[in-house]
Structure 1
Amino acid sequence: MTSIASTRLRAVRRRVSRNDKVLVVALSALGVLALVVVFGPLVWPDNSNTVDLAQQFTPPSAHHPLGTDNLGRDMLARVLVGARASLGAGLVVALAGAVLGCVTGLLAGALGGYVDTVLTWLTNSILCFPSIMLAMAVVMALKPGIPAVVIGLSIHSFPWYMRTLRSEVMRISAKDFVKSTRAIGATQRRTLFVHIFPHLISTIVLQMAAVFGAAVLSLAALGFLGMGAQPPTAELGSMITDGQQFFLTGQWWVAAFPGLVLLIAVTLTTVVADRTREILDPRGEYIVAD
């Protein structure tokens, strides 16, 4: 497995260095955004929940680069904290879904039989419900807030991984090189993790990006409905909700800046995932050393 992974890594490096400046730029921008989101609240002195009615609806200025909201709270501080909450929750949903989806997808595709039937039935049952509706049900069963939303979205995300990986495992298992490894006595576990799993990486990466973007947008939608982060906690969706009523009255920055951060994060993630898929799997099959 080490030799396969090292070969793929060398091939990826060559392809990135030669062909894909778009990926380098998008990765750099995403890295900068991550650093700002992680360390920004520690560097910027203003507190995101400090109310100052004397500074109500202050336009963007040197002291308040993104202006202030209807309670005089610094928008830059709130956007930094809100982005950390929204993007962090999206990352948790993507990772949790990937772990559950990889386990169930590999089991269903490799074992088949009753295991495949039960897991397929379970995932199909979950996918009968829209992600927003399932997350709302979990929120009502627990209590409004980001943790409940993350649980609901994670439950809904893993079936997408499972269905995709299951079909990929079955497709790759039918290839001659996999049949050859079994013919020479390789165990099922070795065949699965050494010879099949490395070819699933591009699929997992692309699926994680799709789930991340969908999770961030779903969290924003639930925040818009009042089921996400609860006041005074800053979260991009709830900030857009609070700011929409002021957009047409001249205080456009209250809703515009949280929406812009949301747009940039989802767009960069989608670009990185799409370009990564093309590099890892340029022909829709498998990467080979040049």
Structure 2
Amino acid sequence: MLPPSFEHPFGTDQLGRDMLARTVAGLATSLSIGLVAAVASTVIALLLSVAAAIGGPRVDAIVVGLIDLMSSVPYLVLLILISCAVGRGLAGVTIGMALTHWPSLARVLRAEMRSVLARPYIAQSRSLGVGACRIAMAHLLPAVMPQVLVGAILALPHAVLHESSITFLGFGLSPDEPALGVILAEAMGYLTAGAWWLALFPGAVLALSVMLFAHVGELARSVLDPRSMQE
């Protein structure tokens, strides 16, 4: 329980472990989980939006209903339910975030694909006998790829923050796994003893990381979005 010093910039915890090393290891774990969850949720959103675009009115209605259903439940509640149902731990948290972070991106991609399908060259392609799958590969996917990349980048900070949140609440990673949520949950029991550094530095690293990736996502949007590029 040593306070911050030159030897231990973030101090040490109740077991004498260096908090800087623990924070770096916890951030790496949280980023790894968030990256896998962001990629998986982006793939789910892309597949569902393509199915809604080329599958006809009935498939489109099913996808829209699924998006509305998932959006009607708060992220954390649904994430906790899925994580507990899968078995918690690393796999439960990753699967839970992958299954809960796709609706907003799927809604954007579906709207963009419907806009592309309404253009004259799509009607001309269909009149020439081009199939739906070829239209999706040749026209829909290239048109929405900027939104896909931006959505994946913006999903990363949300996934990191939500992973830390449910782990802090006790529904995520187990206490023996290095993660920022675990570190913050342990620190709450020692704040009354004056060990403020156990929560301050890991919490600040988490907040700055989320803000950094969110800013990177906004920059990517301004670069990749044609409307922002013209402005």
TM-score by length of 1: 0.72
1:100–1:158 CA contact under 8 A, matched in 2:
yes
Shift of 1:183: 4.5
2:110 to 157, 160, 166: 166
2:47 to 103, 109, 117: 103
Question: Counterpart of 1:279 in structure 2: which amino acid?
Answer: V
Gap regions ≥5 residues in structure 1: 1-56
Is 1:83 the counterpart of 2:27 in the alignment? yes
Is 1:72 the counterpart of 2:16 in the alignment? yes
Q: Deviations over 1:197-238 (max 9, x none)?
A: 122122112222332222111111111111122122221112
Q: Aligned with 2:102: secondary structure?
A: helix
1:110–1:169 CA contact under 8 A, matched in 2:
no
Question: Counterpart of 1:230 in structure 2: which amino acid?
Answer: S
Q: Which has the larger displacement, 165-174 or 242-251? A: 242-251
Percent of matched pairs sharing the same residue:
33
Partner of 1:38: none
Question: Counterpart of 2:186 in structure 1: which amino acid?
Answer: D
* Regions of 4+ moved over 3 Å: 176-187, 244-250
1:110–1:170 CA contact under 8 A, matched in 2:
no
Shift of 1:102: 0.5
Q: Deviations over 1:166-205 (max 9, x none)?
A: 1110012112343444455543323222222122122112
2:58 to 107, 114, 134: 114
Partner of 1:258: 202
Mapped to 2, the partners of 1:283 and 1:137 lie a distance apart of 39
Count residues with an aligned counterpart: 230
Gap regions ≥5 residues in structure 2: none
Mapped to 2, the partners of 1:61 and 1:201 lie a distance apart of 48
Q: Aligned with 1:231: secondary structure?
A: coil
2:93–2:173 CA contact under 8 A, matched in 1:
no
1:69–1:75 CA contact under 8 A, matched in 2:
yes
Shift of 1:90: 0.9
Question: Counterpart of 2:106 in structure 1: which amino acid?
Answer: M
Counterparts of 1:89-238 in structure 2, within 5 Å, are: 89-238=33-182
1:105–1:161 CA contact under 8 A, matched in 2:
no
Shift of 1:245: 4.5
Question: Counterpart of 1:100 in structure 2: which amino acid?
Answer: I
